[in-house]
Amino acid sequence: MKEEIDDLTVQGTWVLVPPPPNRNIVGSKWIYKVKKNPDGSVSRYKARLVVEGFSEEQGLDYNETFSPVVRHTTVRLVLAHATKNHWELHQLDVKNAFLHGDLQEEVYMKQPQGFEDAIHPSHICKLLKSLYGLKQAPRAWNAKFTSYLPTLGFILSHSDPSLFVKHTGTDIVLLLFYVDDIIVTGSSSTLVQSVITDLGEAFDMKDMGKLTFFLGLEISYLSNGDIFVNQAKYLRDLLKKAAMVECKPCSTPAKPHQQFLKDEGVSLQDPTTYRSLVGALQYLTFTRPDIAYAVNSVCLFMTAPTDIHFGAVKCILRYLKGTSHYGLTYTLSDMQLLVYIDSDWVGDPNTKRSTTGYVVYLGNDPISWQSKKQTSVSRSST
């Protein structure tokens, strides 16, 4: 906790002022977290001071809050591109990233519990920097970081606001980030290292070395130069959450040609668990296109799921239990783009809408896929 307070002090996060009249004063609290390695072992124990952002008032304490998130397709494309070109993948971590963001609004916070100032115990903190818990904190950090990258010669991608590209002669550097996790790769190791050095001088940043873990993805490097990506730890945690660690595996994520009716079965008294598990399964499709259709099917009943629909969710989890070692392999194949797309016709018995599925390959490697219900009813199959 003292380390956290010291970091906040060095950053100049706030100044103590008397409580101003007619202003909202938000609270603060301590959050404790155990950070783990990809294998599940403990990496470090961390205490973080956060603002009780739920007490912020719109128009007074904050205005806009939107901050972009990285597209899954972009992550897979960068990994595939690096593999095919024999580029090294580097991982960077920004320490206390949100503290770098500059606040545009005046925000006042109570002094941290246990660290009240001895001389001015009744004063409050006027925030000068962004702090975790603020509704506008992600946006402030994103604005700070993305405004700095052009000074290094990076250009924002038109397709993803989390991807930046730098060209120097014939060399290229790709920088992909999500909040405080950053991937840097490129055709020149010297140029990549120069970018890492420049970023380290501008922000409190740690070079984590070769990329091994990103957004729950575990990245392994094979002896032939290929890269293997899966979400084994994420899946283990999901099975534990569902109390299905010891479940019996099944061979498919869904029964062939199975269709669910909206009102069949007994309605769940509390659909919270159903919704939570389905949401987690959606993220698992990051590296598991084989469950995309089955997950899309159970997503259709989030409003009023029944025991029949919950059984379908358990079927997906049982399939995953037996295939936890599955994932994506990015190979040294060519860079040709191939797209496969198909759909059924009025396949949904509840809405008579059709389902479209597609997969995009870069060489031999899938980089984008989706199974999705069409927005309107098709009157013809041609």
pLDDT tens-digit series, residues 83-102: 999 999 999 999 888 888 98
pLDDT tens-place string over residues 308-344: 999 999 999 999 999 999 999 999 988 999 999 999 8
pLDDT tens-place string over residues 21-47: 989 999 999 998 887 776 778 877 888
Model confidence at 286, in pLDDT bands (50, 70, 90)? very high
Q: Which residue has the tokens 């358990």?
A: 314
**Quick check: helix, strand or coil at residue 312?**
helix
**Can you tell me the mean pLDDT for 171-191?**
95
pLDDT of residue 43: 78
Q: Which residue has the tokens 């155990």?
A: 34
pLDDT of residue 381: 73
Residue 194 sits at φ, ψ, to 5 deg, of -65, -40
- For 175, residues 6+ apart whose C-beta sits below 8 A from its C-beta are 149, 154, 163, 164, 165, 166, 182, 183, 184, 195
What is the overall mean pLDDT for the chain?
A: 92
Q: What pairing do the DSSP bridges indicate for beta strands 124-127 and 28-36?
A: unpaired
- The single-letter code of the amino acid at 68 is P
Contact 274, 310 (CB under 8 A): yes
d(CA 294, CA 312): 8
d(CA 175, CA 94): 14
Look at residue 176 and tell me whether its pLDDT is greater than 70: yes
DSSP 128: S
d(CA 251, CA 315): 9
**Can you tell me the mean pLDDT for 276-288?**
97
Model confidence at 18, in pLDDT bands (50, 70, 90)? very high
**Can you tell me the mean pLDDT for 262-271?**
92
pLDDT of residue 38: 66
Burial class (CB in 10 A: 0-12, 13-18, 19+), 335: exposed
Contact 263, 333 (CB under 8 A): no
d(CA 190, CA 94): 21
pLDDT of residue 46: 83
**Can you tell me the mean pLDDT for 41-68?**
88
Look at residue 121 and tell me whether its pLDDT is greater than 80: yes
Look at residue 9 and tell me whether its pLDDT is greater than 80: yes
pTM for this predicted structure: 0.86
Contact 227, 221 (CB under 8 A): yes
Percent of the chain with pLDDT over 90: 73
**Can you tell me the mean pLDDT for 269-288?**
96
- The single-letter code of the amino acid at 188 is S
- For 89, residues 6+ apart whose C-beta sits below 8 A from its C-beta are 79, 82, 183, 184, 185, 210, 211, 219, 227
Tell me the chain's radius of gyration from C-alpha atoms.
24
d(CA 259, CA 180): 42
Structure token pair of residue 347: 């396949």
pLDDT tens-place string over residues 201-250: 999 888 999 999 999 999 999 999 999 999 999 999 999 999 999 999 99
